[in-house]
Amino acid sequence: FNPGNTGFRVWKTRYANVGVAICWDQWFPECARAMALQDAELLLYPTAIGDEPHESFDSRDQWQRVMQGHAAANMIPVVASNRIGSEKSGTGTQTFYGSSFIVDATGEKLAEAPRDKQTVLTASFDLDELRTQRASSGLFRDRRTDLYHSLMTLDGTSRPGQPGGR
């Protein structure tokens, strides 16, 4: 896998402005916020996630909670699709845990697929109502971007251009 260089993108469709990020990007709240700031009305995260480095750890619930947090923090519905089944490679077999789901703009789960079956999930959203709610909320209006310089660093404390910064 290689990191991309296109940034976080939002596509304007006839249905909604859809922010799309794949796989590893879905774990980072900055990705969701960047797309929300670009007027995304729906976030879509197609992924292939499953086997863990430690057999006793199953990240499925954590994965879902992270996506639910993206929805609630940005007041935007999230659709997360994950593959099912197993795939053999030179290093063994990877099993994917499915469990695709849809959450509303508060993070409430509206639909969820099982771990092991292909499933079509649907949900409807009133985009006009969601736009009104986002516009009247302080989540975007009251952001303190003057304090966010540490987000641009590797250690969270340095300023860009200083040790630990980018």
Phi and psi at 37, nearest 5°, equal: -70, -20
Q: Is the pLDDT of residue 122 over 80?
A: yes
User: Does residue 105 sit within a domain?
Assistant: yes
Nearest to 79 by CA among 45, 33, 124, 127: 45
Structure token pair of residue 37 = 């700031």
How much is the average pLDDT of 62-80? 97
CATH assignment at residue 50: 3.60.110.10
Q: Are residues 33 and 83 in the same domain?
A: yes
Percentage of residues in the chain having pLDDT higher than 90: 61
Confidence tier at 92 by pLDDT (50, 70, 90):
confident
Confidence tier at 3 by pLDDT (50, 70, 90):
confident
User: Does residue 102 sit within a domain?
Assistant: yes
User: Does residue 114 sit within a domain?
Assistant: yes
Q: Are residues 134 and 164 in the same domain?
A: yes
How much is the average pLDDT of 37-50? 94
Q: Are residues 111 and 92 in the same domain?
A: yes
The pLDDT value given to residue 31: 94
Q: Are residues 152 and 121 in the same domain?
A: no
Q: Specify the pTM.
A: 0.87
User: Does residue 2 sit within a domain?
Assistant: no
User: Does residue 3 sit within a domain?
Assistant: no
Confidence tier at 85 by pLDDT (50, 70, 90):
very high
Q: Is the pLDDT of residue 2 over 80?
A: no
Angle at 47 (CA atoms; ends 112, 121), nearest 5 degrees? 25
The pLDDT value given to residue 129: 96
The pLDDT value given to residue 160: 57
One-letter amino acid at 115 equals R
Angle at 19 (CA atoms; ends 11, 128), nearest 5 degrees? 85
Number of domains in the chain: 2
How much is the average pLDDT of 138-165? 76
Q: Is the pLDDT of residue 145 over 80?
A: yes
Q: Are residues 111 and 29 in the same domain?
A: yes
Q: Are residues 70 and 144 in the same domain?
A: no
User: Does residue 1 sit within a domain?
Assistant: no
Q: Are residues 14 and 96 in the same domain?
A: yes
Mean pLDDT of the chain: 89
Q: Are residues 121 and 146 in the same domain?
A: no
Q: Which residue range forms the structural domain that includes residue 89?
A: 9-125
